[in-house]
Amino acid sequence: MPTFEACMNFLEAKQVSKSYGSQQVVAPTSFNLHNGCRLAIAGETGSGKSSLLKMIAGHVQPDGGEIIFNGERILGPNDQLLPGHKGIAYLSQHFELRNNYIVADLLDYGSELNAEEQLQLYRLCEIDHLLQRKTNSGLSGGERQRIALAKILTTQPKLLLLDEPFSNLDTLHKQSMRRIVANLQATLNIGIIMISHDTTDMLSWADEIWIMQHGMVIQQGSAREIYHHPVSNYAAGLFGVFNEIPVAQIQSWFPYFSNVVTQHMHISRPEQWQISLEPAPHLLQAQIETIAFEGPTLLLGIHVQGHRLFCRTMQQAVMVGQTIYVQLQHR
């Protein structure tokens, strides 16, 4: 458990903002993150995620506000020649790996780790079998990325920033990167901020998720809060299929939803709708309109009293046109 002091001083942004010309890409944003955090940032393309991450990394100069890391202001490219902060490692989508180096030599150069720590890091990054290869010897994109990751971790940073670590990878390399990211924080005890379009992975990984839209963080919360209580259709849609039904309609179908009064529309996930093949007094009658096979589950498009919605079921023995009975579960 981090101390109160560590919580206050680890990473703090005060009204940090960025514009390009007349376009504000990050609106004034403030936050406070604790040591060892696992923060994931989601948002549509162009919503300002990378710009925010690059300001934290010290690679982009904020127009306003400041970012404090372990008590020191992060300097931008206008403040210093070499961008970045020693305690912060940043893996860009467009990382570079120096050509013509033996991987082990490249990693050794400037490393602050002893031999045992190095080996642990190489295993963690799943590159221990690549150490004698040359960086220009036909390494795959995924292997190059894992070497680049190991390289930036050899200086023992306290905060790791990952910009889209799963993009442009085939399935096997993606799985490998997922394993690594899942183990990094626990093994190295560092904070991680990750941007990803792979929102399903975020839910199980992150302590906290932020959603960005038009340069603003529009929602912050735990994975459960973000998934089950999105603030808008946009936030809901980032994490998969959802249903939107007027609250009044939900309450008339299911009186036990009488306490849902904060919003005009009620958002639910398909798996919140339970289906039954037999009628019962508290169930609504519905017709199946579409069936999408998802592996262990089916995603049913159903029609209920003038409303179309999705429900997810493990019940495989259903067909289009069939009458079923549904109810909505609280979350």
Q: Smaller CB distance to ligand ATP: residue 45 or 262? A: 45
Tell me how far apart the alpha carbons of residues 201 and 196 are, in angstroms, rounded to a whole number. 9
Question: Is 168 a binder of ligand ATP (CB under 6 A)?
Answer: no
Question: Is 49 a binder of ligand ATP (CB under 6 A)?
Answer: yes
Subset of 14-33 contacting ligand ATP (CB under 6 A): 20, 25
CA angle 137, 142, 143 (to 5 degrees): 45
Tell me how far apart the alpha carbons of residues 309 and 307 are, in angstroms, rounded to a whole number. 6
Question: Is 145 a binder of ligand ATP (CB under 6 A)?
Answer: no
Question: Is 58 a binder of ligand ATP (CB under 6 A)?
Answer: no
Question: Is 46 a binder of ligand ATP (CB under 6 A)?
Answer: yes
b/e 169-195 (16+ beta carbons within 10 angstroms → b): beeebbebbbebbeebbeebebbbbbb
Choose, by CB under 6 A, the member of 9, 34, 36, 48 that binds ligand ATP. Answer: 48
Question: Is 213 a binder of ligand ATP (CB under 6 A)?
Answer: no
Question: Is 124 a binder of ligand ATP (CB under 6 A)?
Answer: no
DSSP H/E element including 9 = helix 4-9
What residue spans of 10-140 are helical by DSSP H? 49-57, 103-108, 115-124
Question: Is 199 a binder of ligand ATP (CB under 6 A)?
Answer: no
Q: Smaller CB distance to ligand ATP: residue 9 or 47? A: 47
Tell me how far apart the alpha carbons of residues 308 and 303 are, in angstroms, rounded to a whole number. 5
Question: Is 51 a binder of ligand ATP (CB under 6 A)?
Answer: yes
Q: Smaller CB distance to ligand ATP: residue 21 or 255? A: 21
The span of 48-56, 147-155, 170-178, 180-188 binding ligand ATP (CB under 6 A) equals 48-56
Q: How far is the CB of 197 from ligand ATP (least distance, A)?
A: 7
Q: What is the DSSP string of 139-201?
A: --HHHHHHHHHHHHHTT--SEEEEESTTTT--HHHHHHHHHHHHHHHHHH--EEEEE-S-HHH
Q: How many positions of this chain bind ligand ATP (CB under 6 A)? A: 10
Q: Smaller CB distance to ligand ATP: residue 18 or 146? A: 18
Tell me how far apart the alpha carbons of residues 118 and 154 are, in angstroms, rounded to a whole number. 7
The span of 38-46, 121-129, 177-185, 263-271 binding ligand ATP (CB under 6 A) equals 38-46
169 is written with which tokens? 């990878």
Q: How far is the CB of 46 from ligand ATP (least distance, A)?
A: 4
- Sign, CA dihedral 18-19-25-28, equals positive
Tell me which residue of 10, 34, 39 sits closest to 208, measured CA to CA: 39
Question: Is 237 a binder of ligand ATP (CB under 6 A)?
Answer: no
Q: Which chain residues interact with ligand ATP by CB under 6 A?
A: 20, 25, 43, 45-51
